[in-house]
Chain A
Amino acid sequence: MRVGDFKESYAADEAVFRTSTARFWLGVFLVALAVFPFVAGDYLLYMANLTGVAIVAAVGLNILTGAAGQISLGHAAFVGIGAYTSAILVTRLGLPFLLCLPLSGLAAAFFGVIVGAPSMRMKGLYLCIATLAAQVIFEFIFVHWVPVTGGIRGINVPAATVFGLQLDTEFKFYFVTIPIVILVVTAARNLFRTRVGRAFIAIRDRDISAELMGINLFQYKLYAFATSSFFAGVAGCLNVFLLKVVTPEHFPLHESVRYLAMIIVGGLGSVLGSIFGAIFMTMVPEALQSLLNLFQGLDPAVMEYLFPLQTVIFGLLIVVFLVFEPQGLAEIWRRVKDYFRLWPFEH
C-alpha cells in the first residue's frame, strides 16, 4: 500500500486518478499532447493521427474481447462499415463530419448486434468462426456492391469541415483526432466503473455464475458487441477523413488480426493496454522500416533479404512479449510505476 494514501470519502477512493501525483502527470501528458503538433513534422503528425484511429478501434475491441471475453475476428469489418457509412453520407447527402461521426458508430453498432446474436448459443472458438464469417461477408459486400461502395476503386471523400474550418492538413486533423480519442478512452474507462463493465468481466470470468448473479447473459453480450462496434465505426469515420478515400483494401482479415494483436500485446481487458498496444502496433513497424533504411547502400541482393526481415522481426517482438509478459504492456507499465512509487528506496 502506498504510504500516506488516505481517503476521507468513498468518492475520492473510487476516483480513476487517485493521487495528486497521478493527476499531475496526467496534466503534463495532456500539455505534451497539445504542444506536440507545433513541434512535430507532417510525417509524425500523420503517424499520430493513424495511431489515434487505431486506439479508438482497439479500445472497442478490448471491450468485447478483452473484457467480455467474446473473441472477434471481424473487428476490421466494423471499422469498414463505419468508414463506408461516413463516405456515403458525406458524398451523397453532404452531411457534416461531426454528424457522420456518431452515425457511423450507430451503423456499425447495428451490424455489431446482428453479428453478435449467435453469441446466445455459441462461445469461444465457435463464436470466433461466426465473427470470421461476418468479416468475409462484409469484405465481399465492400468489393461487390459497386453502386453503393464503389467496388475496389472505393469512394473518394472531400476533407472534413468542422465549424467552417477545412481539416485538410495533418496538423488540423490532429486537433479532431486527439479529443475524440480522449472522449472514447474516458467513456471506456467509465464503463468499467459501473455495473455494465463489471457484468462484462463477470461473463468473461465465469458465465454460469454471472447468470446466477442476475446478469442477463445475452443482453450483456449484445451490449458488448454494440459498444465495441460503435467505437469501431467511429474509428472508421476518422480513418476515411484522414485518408480521404475508402477502399476494401483498408479492412482485410489481417487488419482484424492486427487489432487482436494490439489488445493482446497491450493487455487484455485494460483500457490503458489498448492504448499501448495501438501505439506499439502502429509505431514499431515504422521504426523498423526506418532502421532498415539505414542499410540502403548495401548490395541489392542483400537488400532483397533484408526487407522482409521487418515483418519477421516484428513477429518475433510480439512473440517475445507474449512469452515474457503475457499480461501485456499495461502490466509492464504498472510494474514501472510501482518501482518509482518508492524510488529511490527499494522496500
Chain B
Amino acid sequence: MNILSVENLSLSFGGLAALTDITFQVRAGEIFSIIGPNGAGKTSILNCIGGFYKPQQGRITLDGKDVTKTSPDRRAAMGLARTFQNIALFRGMTVLDNIKLGAHARLKTSLLQALLYWGPAHAEEMALREDVEKDVIDFLEIEPIRKLPVGALAYGLQKRVELARALAMRPKVLLMDEPVAGMNAEETEDMARFVLDIKEERGGTIVLIEHDMDVIMDISDRVMVLNFGHKIAEGTPEEIQHHPEVIKAYLGEKKN
C-alpha cells in the first residue's frame, strides 16, 4: 500500500528549475532512499512534501489524502515528521522539552488550562512524560542526557535527539535529511541501527536522504536517484548500483 505518493512534482525558483516532473510512491513500512549528487534536488523534495516549499505543479498525497495545499503544521498533525540536515533543535530547551515538543499536535491543553495547570493539563503532561520516556527516550538510549540543554550536546547526540523529537510525533511517514552526515563510524552504525529498528519494530515508513552509500545500500528497500532535478532511476539497491544512468551521474562518462 502506498502511504505517500508524489505525482508530477515540478518546482522552480524564478528561472531555475529545481525539480522537474518527479513521480514516486512510498509504500507503508519501507525505507525509501533518495540519492543524487549535490544540488540534485533531494532536500527540495523533502521541503515540498513537508509543505515548506510550494511546488508549481504536481500532487502530494499522504495516507490517501491530498495535502498539496495543506499548511506545514496541518501536515505535521496528519503524521508527517522531519529531521533536518543542519540540526534544527530548539537550543534554549532541554532534551526532554525538545522531545515533548514533538508531541505538540496530539496534545489538547488549551491556553487557559495551561495557565491553571490543574486537572486536565497536569494529567496530560504526566501521561506525556511517561509516553515519551517509554516510547522514545528508552528506545534511543538517551536517558542520561534528558535534562541537559541541547546546545551542550555533541553533534552525534544532537542528531539522535532530533530523531527522538520526530518519533515523539508518532509519524506515519518520517522524512530524514542526511541523518549520518558528519558522524564517525560508530555513531553512523548506531543511527543506521535505529533507523532499521524504527522500520522493523514499529513498522515505520522512512524517506531517507543520505550521501553515505554504505548506509543507503545496507538499509534501503528501494532507492530513487536524482540528477539536476530529474529522476533518473528507481529500484532496489542492487539494481541502482548497476544502473548505467546512475554510474554516469556519479562517475561521469568514459571518453570515446
Contact = CB atoms under 8 A, between A and B. Distances in A.
B117 A198 contact: no
Contact of A214 (B84, B104, B110): B104
A118 to B, nearest CB: 19
Contacts of B102: 213
Contacts of A211: 52, 71-73, 76
Interface in A171-215: 187-188, 190-191, 193-199, 201-202, 204-206, 208-215
Interface residues of B, number: 42
Contact of A198 (B104, B111, B129, B133): B104
A212 B169 CA distance: 11
B52 A10 contact: no
B97 interface: yes
Interface of A: 10-11, 13-14, 187-188, 190-191, 193-199, 201-202, 204-206, 208-217, 223, 226-227, 269
A196 B114 contact: yes
Interface stretch (B18-26, B86-94, B152-160, B220-228): B86-94
A195 B114 contact: yes
**Chain A, interface SS category:** helix
13 contacts: A11-B126, A14-B125, A195-B103, A195-B114, A199-B101, A201-B93, A212-B73, A212-B82, A213-B165, A214-B74, A214-B76, A217-B73, A227-B115
Nearest to B127: A10
Interface in B123-142: 124-126, 129-130, 133
A18 to B, nearest CB: 11
What are the nearest 8 A-B pairs in CB distance? A214-B105, A190-B117, A214-B76, A205-B90, A209-B88, A196-B114, A194-B114, A187-B115
B206 interface: no
Nearest to A191: B114
Highest count of chain A CB atoms <10 Å: which of B71, B103, B117: B117
A223 B88 contact: no
A6 to B, nearest CB: 14
A194 to B, nearest CB: 4
Given A14-B129, A214-B77, A199 B104 contact: yes
